[in-house]
Structure 1
């Protein structure tokens, strides 16, 4: 069953919104912003806020860990570097809806299983998950500014001040 144009458009918009959330690496890697959380609730708040604030940085970190796991295997490494470039030029950098998503997805899946790189991808996901969890839990959210300073739980808590007005849920 082939995906509809609307579904592909939604995937494209979602991927562009993730790319638009990239943050400067100097902010992401600032060692002075690391501190131990004082409670479990502060840890979960930090996790939720940092995961949404640094989503693109964490995705690039996962890609970097995956490519580092392939360093001892030059053919899959070269293949996935070429596939990354193909994804960028044929899908992410275009404004119109490219038809290339289905062939690129198939080629990527075939490459993962044909080269045995799916094991390295699984290892990279496990390593990156630990690193992302530690960074998101230890990274203080006090100095993060901008419109992302609102609650990490989004519109669930509402935008009105606490004046007794009802907030739609």
Structure 2
């Protein structure tokens, strides 16, 4: 009696193959797209800035005769130099944060928490901390409370407010003492509103859409 070897039937793993084929291609991370939109928006905004030589032209400075004239000068100069003024305030804010490293670290940590825990976290990946799973609403509430504590109960709020006050004081002083008679404004530029209107773009829209979708 001859012994026959067992027949080996080839088994094709169709389930794993199908699962591998059904997986969508890896998409570009949202954070990378957000940074790209931010850099593009900032570049487009700075492309609208006025020459700095016009901003510091000493021959164009004179003392205003009244408060109403100073207010009118500020309004016209703001419409013309709004990108330059925004850059000046950003520089003052950056210097203030660099001179207060503790506030800078807290602000960066808060911004990172918003980005990685809420704004650009995949919806199918809940936040798990100490074995407890937090929903989107709970995560949003914790981040809001943390932001209030960091901004209003630490030195971060005072640093930001003082920097903004100093920046606005510089802008208002320059706008009040610079004569705007040599500035030529387009109707579209005069009608634009918002101190940071040049930064409104796809980056702001993407953040707003993410927040609206999660709330």
User: TM tier, shorter chain?
Assistant: 0.5 to 0.7
Counterpart position of 1:145: 184
For normalisation by structure 2, the TM-score amounts to 0.43
Deviation of the 1:71 alpha carbon: 2.7
Counterpart position of 1:91: none
* 2:175 is aligned with 1:136: yes
| Counterparts of 1:68 and 1:37, CA distance in 2 | 30
Deviations 1:65-117 (A, max 9, x none): 11111233335547868999x9xxxxxxxxxxxxx9x738x79x849927742
Residues 54 and 139 (structure 1), Cα distance of their counterparts in 2 relative to 1, 3 Å cut: same
Counterpart position of 2:119: 103
Between the two proteins, the alignment pairs up a number of residues equal to: 123
Deviation of the 1:26 alpha carbon: 1.5
| Counterparts of 1:29 and 1:57, CA distance in 2 | 11
Deviation of the 1:139 alpha carbon: 0.8
2:181 is paired with a residue of what secondary structure? coil
Residues 45 and 73 (structure 1), Cα distance of their counterparts in 2 relative to 1, 3 Å cut: closer
| Counterparts of 1:140 and 1:76, CA distance in 2 | 38
2:54 is paired with a residue of what secondary structure? helix
Structure (1 or 2) with the larger CA radius of gyration: 2
The answer for unaligned runs of 5 or more in structure 1 is: 1-11, 87-99, 156-169
The answer for unaligned runs of 5 or more in structure 2 is: 1-37, 121-142, 193-215
For normalisation by structure 1, the TM-score amounts to 0.53
Superposed counterparts of 1:60-79, under 5 Å: 60-74=87-101, 76-77=103-104
| Counterparts of 1:53 and 1:82, CA distance in 2 | 36
User: Moved runs in structure 1, 4+ residues, more than 6 A?
Assistant: 78-84
| Counterparts of 1:130 and 1:143, CA distance in 2 | 23
CA RMSD of aligned residues (A): 4.1
